[in-house]
DNA sequence: AAGATTGTTGCTTA
DNA sequence: TTAAGCAACAATCT
Protein backbone atom coordinates (compact mmCIF):
# COMPACT_ATOMS: atom_id res chain seq x y z
CA UNK A 1 0.00 0.00 0.00
CA UNK A 2 2.83 2.42 -0.30
CA UNK A 3 1.65 5.50 -2.19
CA UNK A 4 3.55 8.58 -3.32
CA UNK A 5 4.44 9.84 0.20
CA UNK A 6 5.66 6.46 1.44
CA UNK A 7 7.74 5.85 -1.68
CA UNK A 8 9.18 9.36 -1.42
CA UNK A 9 10.19 8.79 2.21
CA UNK A 10 11.89 5.55 1.19
CA UNK A 11 13.66 7.31 -1.68
CA UNK A 12 15.05 10.00 0.60
CA UNK A 13 16.14 7.51 3.24
CA UNK A 14 17.88 5.30 0.73
CA UNK A 15 19.68 8.21 -0.90
CA UNK A 16 21.42 8.87 2.38
CA UNK A 17 22.65 5.32 2.62
CA UNK A 18 23.51 3.61 -0.62
CA UNK A 19 24.65 6.10 -3.26
CA UNK A 20 28.05 5.46 -4.83
CA UNK A 21 28.65 2.25 -2.95
CA UNK A 22 29.91 -0.64 -5.05
CA UNK A 23 27.47 -3.55 -5.36
CA UNK A 24 29.41 -6.65 -4.39
CA UNK A 25 26.67 -9.24 -4.29
CA UNK A 26 23.13 -9.78 -5.56
CA UNK A 27 21.00 -12.59 -4.19
CA UNK A 28 17.67 -13.38 -5.79
CA UNK A 29 15.56 -15.55 -3.51
CA UNK A 30 12.35 -15.36 -5.56
CA UNK A 31 13.03 -15.53 -9.26
CA UNK A 32 9.75 -14.12 -10.52
CA UNK A 33 10.35 -10.94 -8.54
CA UNK A 34 13.15 -9.76 -10.83
CA UNK A 35 13.07 -9.13 -14.56
CA UNK A 36 14.15 -10.19 -17.06
CA UNK A 37 15.66 -13.12 -15.10
CA UNK A 38 17.82 -13.74 -12.04
CA UNK A 39 21.09 -14.25 -13.87
CA UNK A 40 20.89 -11.17 -16.09
CA UNK A 41 19.56 -9.14 -13.20
CA UNK A 42 22.47 -9.98 -10.92
CA UNK A 43 25.02 -9.55 -13.68
CA UNK A 44 23.72 -6.09 -14.60
CA UNK A 45 24.05 -4.86 -11.02
CA UNK A 46 27.25 -6.46 -9.80
CA UNK A 47 30.27 -4.21 -9.72
CA UNK A 48 28.22 -1.08 -10.37
CA UNK A 49 26.80 1.49 -7.98
CA UNK A 50 23.79 3.77 -7.80
CA UNK A 51 24.42 7.36 -8.81
CA UNK A 52 21.02 8.69 -7.88
CA UNK A 53 17.52 7.64 -6.91
CA UNK A 54 14.55 9.19 -8.63
CA UNK A 55 10.83 8.52 -8.45
CA UNK A 56 7.78 8.90 -10.62
CA UNK A 57 4.44 8.20 -8.99
CA UNK A 58 4.97 5.10 -6.88
CA UNK A 59 7.87 3.84 -9.01
CA UNK A 60 11.45 4.11 -7.76
CA UNK A 61 14.19 4.68 -10.35
CA UNK A 62 17.80 3.90 -9.44
CA UNK A 63 20.38 5.32 -11.83
CA UNK A 64 23.22 2.89 -12.43
CA UNK A 65 26.85 3.96 -12.65
CA UNK A 66 27.22 2.58 -16.18
CA UNK A 67 25.07 5.56 -17.18
CA UNK A 68 23.10 3.27 -19.44
CA UNK A 69 20.73 1.30 -17.28
CA UNK A 70 18.24 1.92 -14.52
CA UNK A 71 16.87 -0.29 -11.80
CA UNK A 72 13.11 0.13 -11.41
CA UNK A 73 11.45 -0.95 -8.18
CA UNK A 74 7.71 -1.13 -7.64
CA UNK A 75 6.53 -2.12 -4.18
CA UNK A 76 2.90 -2.71 -5.18
CA UNK A 77 0.95 -3.66 -2.06
CA UNK A 78 3.32 -5.22 0.43
CA UNK A 79 6.82 -4.43 -0.78
CA UNK A 80 9.48 -3.05 1.55
CA UNK A 81 13.00 -1.77 0.88
CA UNK A 82 15.12 -1.82 3.99
CA UNK A 83 18.80 -0.99 4.25
CA UNK A 84 20.98 -2.07 7.13
CA UNK A 85 24.69 -2.47 7.61
CA UNK A 86 24.34 -4.69 10.63
CA UNK A 87 26.64 -7.63 9.97
CA UNK A 88 24.58 -9.88 12.20
CA UNK A 89 21.51 -9.24 10.13
CA UNK A 90 23.29 -10.15 6.96
CA UNK A 91 25.08 -13.18 8.27
CA UNK A 92 22.22 -14.76 10.16
CA UNK A 93 19.41 -16.37 8.19
CA UNK A 94 16.08 -16.56 9.97
CA UNK A 95 16.96 -19.93 11.41
CA UNK A 96 20.26 -18.71 12.78
CA UNK A 97 20.68 -16.91 16.06
CA UNK A 98 22.05 -13.40 15.70
CA UNK A 99 25.78 -13.39 16.08
CA UNK A 100 26.20 -10.19 17.97
CA UNK A 101 29.64 -8.89 18.68
CA UNK A 102 28.50 -8.34 22.23
CA UNK A 103 29.46 -4.69 22.11
CA UNK A 104 26.72 -2.73 23.82
CA UNK A 105 26.31 -0.39 20.86
CA UNK A 106 25.90 -3.25 18.37
CA UNK A 107 23.42 -5.04 20.56
CA UNK A 108 21.32 -1.90 20.88
CA UNK A 109 21.32 -1.26 17.13
CA UNK A 110 20.41 -4.86 16.49
CA UNK A 111 17.57 -4.95 18.99
CA UNK A 112 16.28 -1.70 17.60
CA UNK A 113 16.18 -3.13 14.09
CA UNK A 114 14.44 -6.28 15.25
CA UNK A 115 11.89 -4.09 16.98
CA UNK A 116 11.27 -1.97 13.90
CA UNK A 117 11.32 -4.65 11.22
CA UNK A 118 9.65 -7.24 13.38
CA UNK A 119 12.50 -9.71 13.17
CA UNK A 120 15.92 -10.38 11.79
CA UNK A 121 16.80 -9.94 8.13
CA UNK A 122 16.53 -11.69 5.82
CA UNK A 123 13.10 -12.99 6.75
CA UNK A 124 10.78 -15.38 4.94
CA UNK A 125 9.47 -12.54 2.76
CA UNK A 126 12.90 -11.36 1.61
CA UNK A 127 12.96 -11.71 -2.19
CA UNK A 128 16.18 -9.92 -3.17
CA UNK A 129 19.32 -8.89 -1.28
CA UNK A 130 21.72 -6.35 -2.75
CA UNK A 131 24.96 -6.08 -0.80
CA UNK A 132 27.39 -3.16 -1.02
CA UNK A 133 31.12 -3.39 -0.51
CA UNK A 134 30.61 -6.70 1.28
CA UNK A 135 28.92 -4.88 4.12
CA UNK A 136 25.58 -3.04 4.12
CA UNK A 137 22.65 -4.71 2.37
CA UNK A 138 19.42 -3.57 0.80
CA UNK A 139 16.58 -6.02 1.45
CA UNK A 140 13.58 -6.20 -0.81
CA UNK A 141 10.83 -7.90 1.17
CA UNK A 142 7.43 -8.58 -0.33
CA UNK A 143 4.90 -10.86 1.31
CA UNK A 144 2.53 -11.08 -1.62
CA UNK A 145 5.15 -11.05 -4.40
CA UNK A 146 3.29 -8.47 -6.47
CA UNK A 147 6.22 -6.09 -6.43
CA UNK A 148 9.13 -6.28 -8.85
CA UNK A 149 12.67 -5.16 -9.58
CA UNK A 150 13.56 -4.61 -13.17
CA UNK A 151 16.54 -3.34 -15.17
CA UNK A 152 15.74 -1.11 -18.13
CA UNK A 153 17.70 1.11 -20.51
CA UNK A 154 17.03 4.78 -21.11
CA UNK A 155 14.65 4.17 -24.00
CA UNK A 156 12.44 1.84 -22.00
CA UNK A 157 12.54 4.20 -19.06
CA UNK A 158 11.34 7.07 -21.21
CA UNK A 159 8.45 4.99 -22.47
CA UNK A 160 7.47 3.95 -18.98
CA UNK A 161 7.68 7.51 -17.69
CA UNK A 162 5.48 8.79 -20.49
CA UNK A 163 2.59 6.66 -19.26
CA UNK A 164 2.35 8.62 -16.00
CA UNK A 165 0.07 11.59 -15.57
CA UNK A 166 0.84 14.80 -13.71
CA UNK A 167 2.31 14.45 -10.29
CA UNK A 168 1.25 16.41 -7.18
CA UNK A 169 3.84 18.82 -5.79
CA UNK A 170 5.69 19.27 -9.07
CA UNK A 171 5.53 22.24 -11.39
CA UNK A 172 3.50 20.32 -13.97
CA UNK A 173 0.73 19.93 -11.40
CA UNK A 174 -1.04 23.21 -12.04
CA UNK A 175 -4.54 24.09 -10.94
CA UNK A 176 -5.57 24.78 -14.52
CA UNK A 177 -4.21 21.45 -15.74
CA UNK A 178 -5.87 19.63 -12.88
CA UNK A 179 -9.26 21.23 -13.50
CA UNK A 180 -9.08 20.23 -17.14
CA UNK A 181 -7.99 16.68 -16.32
CA UNK A 182 -10.96 16.24 -13.98
CA UNK A 183 -13.63 17.95 -16.04
CA UNK A 184 -12.99 15.93 -19.17
CA UNK A 185 -13.54 12.54 -17.51
CA UNK A 186 -16.82 10.76 -17.31
CA UNK A 187 -15.86 8.15 -14.78
CA UNK A 188 -16.16 8.61 -11.03
CA UNK A 189 -13.86 11.07 -9.30
CA UNK A 190 -12.47 8.21 -7.23
CA UNK A 191 -11.55 6.28 -10.38
CA UNK A 192 -9.93 9.38 -11.91
CA UNK A 193 -7.79 10.10 -8.86
CA UNK A 194 -6.62 6.48 -8.75
CA UNK A 195 -5.74 6.44 -12.45
CA UNK A 196 -1.95 6.73 -12.59
CA UNK A 197 -2.04 7.90 -16.20
CA UNK A 198 -4.06 10.96 -15.14
CA UNK A 199 -2.66 11.77 -11.67
CA UNK A 200 0.50 9.93 -10.60
CA UNK A 201 1.03 8.75 -7.07
CA UNK A 202 -2.35 8.70 -5.35
CA UNK A 203 -3.56 5.37 -4.00
CA UNK A 204 -6.58 4.30 -2.02
CA UNK A 205 -5.71 6.03 1.24
CA UNK A 206 -4.87 9.52 0.03
CA UNK A 207 -7.68 9.45 -2.54
CA UNK A 208 -10.27 8.82 0.17
CA UNK A 209 -8.68 11.40 2.45
CA UNK A 210 -8.49 14.08 -0.26
CA UNK A 211 -12.12 13.57 -1.19
CA UNK A 212 -13.20 13.81 2.43
CA UNK A 213 -11.28 17.05 2.97
CA UNK A 214 -12.86 18.41 -0.19
CA UNK A 215 -16.37 17.30 0.83
CA UNK A 216 -16.83 15.44 -2.46
CA UNK A 217 -18.72 12.14 -2.71
CA UNK A 218 -16.35 9.57 -4.28
CA UNK A 219 -19.18 8.25 -6.51
CA UNK A 220 -19.69 11.55 -8.32
CA UNK A 221 -18.81 11.67 -11.98
CA UNK A 222 -15.60 13.67 -12.31
CA UNK A 223 -17.16 15.88 -14.97
CA UNK A 224 -19.91 16.91 -12.55
CA UNK A 225 -17.52 18.64 -10.13
CA UNK A 226 -17.64 22.43 -10.07
CA UNK A 227 -14.50 24.52 -10.53
CA UNK A 228 -14.73 25.40 -6.88
CA UNK A 229 -14.81 21.76 -5.81
CA UNK A 230 -11.92 20.86 -8.10
CA UNK A 231 -9.91 23.78 -6.74
CA UNK A 232 -10.51 22.56 -3.21
CA UNK A 233 -9.49 19.06 -4.24
CA UNK A 234 -6.34 20.40 -5.87
CA UNK A 235 -5.36 22.26 -2.72
CA UNK A 236 -6.16 19.32 -0.46
CA UNK A 237 -4.16 16.84 -2.52
CA UNK A 238 -1.13 19.12 -2.39
CA UNK A 239 -1.62 19.59 1.32
CA UNK A 240 -2.18 15.97 2.28
CA UNK A 241 0.69 14.62 0.20
CA UNK A 242 3.04 17.15 1.74
CA UNK A 243 1.79 16.45 5.23
CA UNK A 244 2.08 12.69 4.74
CA UNK A 245 5.70 13.00 3.61
CA UNK A 246 6.38 15.20 6.62
CA UNK A 247 4.92 12.48 8.86
CA UNK A 248 6.97 9.80 7.11
CA UNK A 249 3.96 8.15 5.53
CA UNK A 250 1.07 6.05 6.72
CA UNK A 251 1.68 2.64 8.26
CA UNK A 252 -1.32 0.41 7.93
CA UNK A 253 0.22 -3.00 7.98
CA UNK A 254 3.29 -3.54 5.85
CA UNK A 255 4.79 -0.17 5.17
CA UNK A 256 8.06 0.93 6.66
CA UNK A 257 10.71 3.33 5.41
CA UNK A 258 14.22 2.50 4.25
CA UNK A 259 15.34 1.87 7.80
CA UNK A 260 12.30 -0.10 8.85
CA UNK A 261 10.64 2.80 10.65
CA UNK A 262 6.86 3.03 10.64
CA UNK A 263 5.07 6.11 9.35
CA UNK A 264 3.11 8.37 11.67
CA UNK A 265 0.39 9.68 9.40
CA UNK A 266 -2.15 7.03 10.47
CA UNK A 267 -3.22 9.16 13.41
CA UNK A 268 -4.26 11.93 11.05
CA UNK A 269 -6.50 9.77 8.88
CA UNK A 270 -10.05 11.11 8.77
CA UNK A 271 -11.89 8.32 6.94
CA UNK A 272 -9.56 5.59 5.71
CA UNK A 273 -9.85 2.53 7.93
CA UNK A 274 -12.40 4.27 10.15
CA UNK A 275 -15.48 2.38 8.96
CA UNK A 276 -18.27 2.65 11.55
CA UNK A 277 -16.37 5.22 13.60
CA UNK A 278 -17.61 8.78 14.03
CA UNK A 279 -16.78 11.46 11.47
CA UNK A 280 -14.43 13.91 13.14
CA UNK A 281 -16.45 16.82 11.75
CA UNK A 282 -20.10 15.87 12.19
CA UNK A 283 -20.16 12.63 14.22
CA UNK A 284 -21.94 10.60 11.55
CA UNK A 285 -20.67 7.03 11.10
CA UNK A 286 -18.05 6.65 8.37
CA UNK A 287 -19.28 4.31 5.65
CA UNK A 288 -17.34 1.92 3.49
CA UNK A 289 -18.57 1.14 -0.01
CA UNK A 290 -17.07 -0.25 -3.20
CA UNK A 291 -16.23 2.30 -5.86
CA UNK A 292 -13.91 1.91 -8.83
CA UNK A 293 -13.35 -1.63 -7.60
CA UNK A 294 -11.84 -0.44 -4.34
CA UNK A 295 -12.90 -0.20 -0.73
CA UNK A 296 -13.93 3.43 -0.39
CA UNK A 297 -14.39 5.29 2.90
CA UNK A 298 -16.43 8.46 3.25
CA UNK A 299 -18.75 10.46 5.46
CA UNK A 300 -22.26 10.33 4.01
CA UNK A 301 -23.15 13.65 5.60
CA UNK A 302 -20.04 15.75 4.94
CA UNK A 303 -19.47 14.55 1.37
CA UNK A 304 -22.00 15.14 -1.39
C1' DA B 1 -14.44 -21.62 5.35
C1' DA B 2 -15.56 -18.16 2.13
C1' DG B 3 -14.51 -13.50 1.39
C1' DA B 4 -11.86 -9.41 1.70
C1' DT B 5 -7.40 -7.02 1.26
C1' DT B 6 -3.35 -1.84 0.21
C1' DG B 7 -1.52 -1.75 -6.70
C1' DT B 8 -1.43 -2.69 -11.41
C1' DT B 9 -2.26 -4.92 -15.80
C1' DG B 10 -4.86 -6.92 -19.10
C1' DC B 11 -9.01 -8.85 -20.83
C1' DT B 12 -14.02 -8.57 -21.84
C1' DT B 13 -18.15 -6.19 -22.50
C1' DA B 14 -20.82 -2.31 -23.40
C1' DT C 1 -11.66 5.79 -27.56
C1' DT C 2 -13.74 5.51 -23.16
C1' DA C 3 -15.42 3.34 -19.16
C1' DA C 4 -16.81 -0.47 -15.95
C1' DG C 5 -16.05 -4.82 -14.09
C1' DC C 6 -13.35 -8.60 -13.16
C1' DA C 7 -9.55 -11.93 -12.88
C1' DA C 8 -4.89 -12.58 -11.83
C1' DC C 9 -0.71 -12.11 -9.12
C1' DA C 10 0.09 -14.55 -3.37
C1' DA C 11 -0.51 -14.57 1.33
C1' DT C 12 -2.83 -13.48 5.34
C1' DC C 13 -6.58 -12.33 8.32
C1' DT C 14 -11.46 -12.39 9.78
- Rounded, the Å distance between the CA of A223 and C1' of B4 is 31
Higher per-residue confidence, A35 vs A97: A35
Residue nearest to nucleotide C13 (CA to C1'): A253
Average pLDDT over residues A161-166: 92
- Provide the residue count of chain A: 304
In angstroms, rounded to a whole number, what is the distance separating the alpha carbons of residues A66 and A51? 9
Q: If you count DSSP H runs as helices and E runs as strands, how many of each does chain A have, helices first? A: 9, 11
- Rounded, the Å distance between the CA of A98 and C1' of B11 is 48
Determine whether A3 is an active site residue: yes
Residue nearest to nucleotide C4 (CA to C1'): A292
Query: How sure is the predictor about A95, in pLDDT bands with cuts at 50, 70 and 90?
Result: very low
In angstroms, rounded to a whole number, what is the distance separating the alpha carbons of residues A296 and A275? 10
Is pLDDT above 60 for A239?
Answer: yes
- Rounded, the Å distance between the CA of A144 and C1' of B7 is 11
First to last CA, chain A: 27
pLDDT in tens, A137-158: 999 999 888 899 999 999 989 9
Is pLDDT above 90 for A248?
Answer: no
Determine whether A294 is an active site residue: yes
Give the closest nucleotide to A146 (alpha carbon vs C1').
Answer: C9
- Rounded, the Å distance between the CA of A251 and C1' of B1 is 29
Contacts (Cβ under 8 Å, ≥6 apart) of A101: A87, A88, A107
Question: The pTM is what?
Answer: 0.90
Contacts (Cβ under 8 Å, ≥6 apart) of A188: A218, A219, A220, A221, A222, A291, A292
Dihedrals phi, psi of A202, to nearest 5 degrees: -75, 140
Higher per-residue confidence, A107 vs A269: A269
Dihedrals phi, psi of A194, to nearest 5 degrees: -80, -15
pLDDT in tens, A119-130: 778 888 899 999
Marked catalytic residue, from A48, A262, A294, A301: A294
Amino acid sequence: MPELPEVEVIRRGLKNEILNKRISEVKVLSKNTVKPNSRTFAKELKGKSFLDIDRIGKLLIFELSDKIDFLLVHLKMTGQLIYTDQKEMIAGGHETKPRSSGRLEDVLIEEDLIERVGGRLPNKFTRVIITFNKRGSLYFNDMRKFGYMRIVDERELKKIKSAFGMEPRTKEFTKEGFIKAIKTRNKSIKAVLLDQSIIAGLGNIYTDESLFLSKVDPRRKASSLTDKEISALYKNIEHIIGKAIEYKGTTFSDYSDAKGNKGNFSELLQVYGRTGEKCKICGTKIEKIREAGRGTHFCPKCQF
